Amino acid sequence: MSALTATALAHPNIAFIKYWGNRDQSIHLPQNGSLSMCLDGLYTTTTVRFDPQLTADSLVLDGSPVQGAGLVRVQQFLDHVRRLAEKDIYAQIESSNNFPAGAGIASSASAFAALALASTSALDLQLSEPDLSRLARLGSGSACRSIPGGFVEWQAGETDLDSYAFSLFPPDHWELLDLIVILDRAHKATGSAAGMALAHTSPLQKQRVTEAPMRLDFCRQALLERDFTSFAAVVELDSNWMHAVMQTSAPPLKYLLPATEDILDSVLGWRAEGHSVCATVDAGPNVHILCLPQEEAFLRQELSQLPEVLELITATPGGGARLLSVTA
């Protein structure tokens, strides 16, 4: 068999209704459905080259070879792909992010979405979008939401077979902006997998999960109607629920910095003054301010005055993962 190479690109995504907690951690079967937007302008590009001459998998990320846990995670993911293709063959992977390494933007979603598409294409596995999304989910839960484009829902599902993401609306459905406020570039002490493994220890998690379908309905409807007021209310409620669960887990987890809290307070104040802005925070201190385009200049003006703000990045609704090339 000749070496097969494919290159794919995928965007990260920001969740409006969050994923936090698994029914089965090993295959990322989530406790609740989630909803997100793909982030245009930010992307991971990954080339996978399978070659019968290779004796092991290797990974180069942003120009540097990766060993240890990072490499093992990718090898385990490729084992799923090899099983699907029924081929015993190793690969060389080269991946790069166009967003600065350590910018505080989670790259595992775009990384595993791009890897799923490139590796299956290189082995000529033609997976449907749901099957590709299920495969990406095995690498990182939120990666399943970076396979379809635009505004995306991950249905929790009952089993591995029906836990995948699909597009609710295309990117041009609504001109929302995500203004990402970078406050810290360091890698977080507790990654999302370890953090969400504690979710069940919080007395608030059960209620958060029980009410998730209601928040999903509400968010879907707000997106459908492009109703910013309703959207803002449910996005902030959902983010606060997740951080409340984190902070009441045993041991407690706190991802927010004082500057994060200050910005969240400012966002509430600006909305009370009539600005179309709201905020959501993932498992880290950086703030994603979601807003309508006319708010960007005002927000940049306000935020650039704060000494804690290291960088501001604007993202618009992006498309799904796409194949850039396949060569034999």
DSSP string, 116-133: HHHHHHHTT----HHHHH
Measured from the CB atom, the residue of 123 and 130 that comes closer to ligand PMV is 130
> How many residues line the site for ligand PMV (CB under 6 A)?
14
274 phi and psi angles, rounded to 5 deg: 110, 0
Half-sphere exposure of 41 (CA within 13 A, CB side): 12
In angstroms, the CA 164 to CA 216 distance is 15
Nearest approach, Cβ of 241 to ligand PMV (angstroms)?
12
Nearest approach, Cβ of 191 to ligand PMV (angstroms)?
7
Measured from the CB atom, the residue of 141 and 171 that comes closer to ligand PMV is 141
Nearest approach, Cβ of 228 to ligand PMV (angstroms)?
21
Measured from the CB atom, the residue of 58 and 107 that comes closer to ligand PMV is 107
Confirm or reject binding of residue 15 to ligand PMV (CB under 6 A).
yes
Nearest approach, Cβ of 189 to ligand PMV (angstroms)?
15
Is residue 135 a contact partner of residue 76, using CB atoms and an 8 Å limit? Answer: no
Among 282, 285, 290, 309, interactor with ligand PMV by CB under 6 A = 282
The torsion of the CA quartet 284, 151, 34, 78, rounded to 10 degrees, works out to -80
Q: Restricting to residues 17-36, which ones interact with ligand PMV according to CB under 6 A?
A: 18-20, 34
In angstroms, the CA 268 to CA 319 distance is 30
Among 5, 110, 142, 266, interactor with ligand PMV by CB under 6 A = 142
Stretch that binds ligand PMV, among 16-24, 80-88, 123-131, 289-297 (CB under 6 A): 16-24
Measured from the CB atom, the residue of 184 and 295 that comes closer to ligand PMV is 184
Nearest approach, Cβ of 39 to ligand PMV (angstroms)?
12
DSSP string, 49-107: EE-TT-SS-EEEETTEEE-HHHHHHHHHHHHHHHHHHT----EEEEEEESSPTTSS---
Among 12, 21, 130, 141, interactor with ligand PMV by CB under 6 A = 141
In angstroms, the CA 50 to CA 145 distance is 26
Among 97, 121, 192, 314, interactor with ligand PMV by CB under 6 A = 192
In angstroms, the CA 310 to CA 184 distance is 7
In angstroms, the CA 37 to CA 148 distance is 10
Is residue 150 a contact partner of residue 173, using CB atoms and an 8 Å limit? Answer: yes
Is residue 234 a contact partner of residue 222, using CB atoms and an 8 Å limit? Answer: yes
Confirm or reject binding of residue 193 to ligand PMV (CB under 6 A).
yes
Among 106, 114, 118, 245, interactor with ligand PMV by CB under 6 A = 106
Is residue 180 a contact partner of residue 312, using CB atoms and an 8 Å limit? Answer: yes
In angstroms, the CA 231 to CA 224 distance is 10
Stretch that binds ligand PMV, among 12-20, 52-60, 163-171, 182-190 (CB under 6 A): 12-20
Confirm or reject binding of residue 140 to ligand PMV (CB under 6 A).
yes
Stretch that binds ligand PMV, among 42-50, 134-142, 173-181, 214-222 (CB under 6 A): 134-142
Interface positions with ligand PMV (CB under 6 A)? 15, 18-20, 34, 106, 108, 140-142, 192-193, 282-283
